Amino acid sequence: MSNKRVTLKARQVSFAWDKTPLHWLPDDPFTTHTINVLHLLLPAGERWFVHVYKQVLPFIRDDRLREDVIGFIGQEAMHAQAHDEVLPHLREQGLDPTPYTAQVDWFFEKLLADRTLPPGKARQWWLMERVALIAAIEHYTAFLGNWVLNAEELDRRGADPMMLDLLRWHGAEEVEHRSVAFELFMHLDGSYRRRARTWATAFAALMFLWQRGARFFMENDPTLLDGKASFKAFYQGGKKGVLPSTPDMLRSIPRYLSRDYHPEQEGDTDQAVAYLASSPAARAAEAREGAAR
Ligand SMILES: [Fe+2]
Ligand SMILES: [Fe+2]
């Protein structure tokens, strides 16, 4: 395992969804929809990352870190766009996510917006609080990225190759840039109490939004008579290897809260870079860039 530093660049990927079935993991609507929640949460969440980071750029006093943050912004903006583009495809198949995405948009654009607190010290505090929240969320995006790069059970069960490539291209870039948010937080603030507090908030919010999203999809899937999402199904999916395992998720908590945590200890940059070199979408993006040059 090696964790050499790579220059972060946004790959201008594009995906065609017309051949992807509604249940892109065959005969497994629950796993399909649990992972589909990413398409609901990430566009608003990652645009919010970009919005917050643009505000902190002037406070960065380290050139390499600033460069990393700019690379991170480019990658997250592309992730948001790529997941957004799955939504019309879901609508065409009779699953309109608007009622749910409207709630998620409110969450990121109103509750976590700039003006939640008055100007001055409180607003400065709020900006640092959000920088720390992003670091905590990125602990989980790296965890999920590392998981999906290694989730061979999805291949074995015939998951749609286009969807797998979206998830693994994104996952690989999450592993690639996994240190940026934490290093930025440590550079600007680094308070342990803030790290622990924002971890608790981020974890609770992610769990809440995720289970609501999975329930929403299962209940509104036009092909299911009595679609339900449950923790038991999630746990079993983890045991089968089609979803992250609950024990692995629990073990990731003390790692983030350990005083010597660093995201470098999670995931494998070489594996991420190797996937990006073979990803159909990333290769097509590179070919298009080469042709435009
Ligand atoms: Fe991302
Ligand atoms: Fe990320």
Q: Are 182 and 262 in contact (CB under 8 A)?
A: yes
In the reported structure, the alpha carbon of residue 91 is separated from the centroid of ligand 2 by a whole-number distance in angstroms of 26
- Of 195, 288, 289, 210, nearest to 249 by C-alpha is 210
Contact (CB, 8 A) for 169 and 276: yes
Reference 275, options 188, 120, 166, 118; nearest CA is 166
Residue 290 C-alpha to ligand 2 middle, in angstroms?
25
**Alpha helix (H) residue ranges in 16-84:** 29-56, 63-84
Q: Amino acid letter at 151? A: A
Amino acid identity of 91?
Answer: R
Residue 102's SS3 state is helix
- Å from CA of 293 to ligand 2 middle: 28
Find the 174 Cα to ligand 1 centroid distance in Å: 6
pLDDT for the residue numbered 46 = 96
Q: Dmax of the chain from CA atoms?
A: 56
- Residue 104 exposure: Cα atoms within 13 Å on the Cβ side: 26
Q: Which alpha helices (H) appear in 109-191, and where do they start and end? A: 121-150, 152-156, 161-176, 180-188
Ligand nearest to the CA of 137: 2
User: Nearest to residue 83, comparing CAs of 211, 208, 205, 169?
Assistant: 169
- For the record, the structure tokens of 237 come out as 């999916």
Cα(177) to ligand 2 centroid in Å equals 6
- Structural tokens at position 169: 């291209």
- Measured in Å, residue 138 CA sits from the centre of ligand 1 at 8
Q: What are phi and psi of 139, to 5 degrees?
A: -60, -40
The residues, ordered by sequence, that sit 6+ positions from 123 with a Cβ below 8 Å of its Cβ are 114, 117
Neighbour count for residue 268 (Cβ, 10 Å): 15
**Ligand with minimal distance to 45 CA:** 1
Ligand found nearest the CA of 134? 2
Q: Ligand 1 centre and the CA of 223: distance in Å? A: 30
Contacts of 231 (CB under 8 A, 6+ apart): 211
Taking the centre of ligand 2 as the mean of its atom positions, its distance from the CA of residue 224, in whole angstroms, is 33
Output the CA 183–ligand 2 centroid distance in Å.
13
User: How far does residue 225's CA lie from ligand 2's centre (Å)?
Assistant: 36
Considering every ligand atom shown, identify the ligand nearest to the alpha carbon of residue 174 and give its number.
2
Coil, strand, or helix at residue 221?
coil
- pLDDT by residue, tens only, the chain of 293 residues: 455 678 999 999 999 999 999 999 999 999 999 999 999 999 999 999 999 999 999 999 999 999 999 999 999 999 999 999 999 999 999 999 999 999 999 888 888 888 767 778 888 899 999 999 999 999 999 999 999 999 999 999 999 999 999 999 999 999 999 999 999 999 999 999 999 999 999 999 999 999 999 999 999 999 999 999 999 999 999 999 999 999 999 999 999 999 999 999 999 999 999 999 999 999 999 999 888 87
Q: Alpha-carbon distance 172 to 280, whole Å?
A: 13
Q: Which ligand is nearest to the CA of 8?
A: 2
pLDDT of residue 3: 55
* Ligand 1 centre distance from Cα of residue 170 (Å): 6
Distance CA 4, CA 193 (A): 30
pLDDT at position 4 is 66
Find out whether 266 and 142 touch, Cβ atoms under 8 Å.
yes
Ligand nearest to the CA of 138: 2
The ligand placed nearest to the CA atom of residue 176 is 2
Give the Å distance between the CA of 50 and the centre of ligand 1.
10
How far is Cα of residue 251 from the mean position of the Cα atoms in its chain?
19
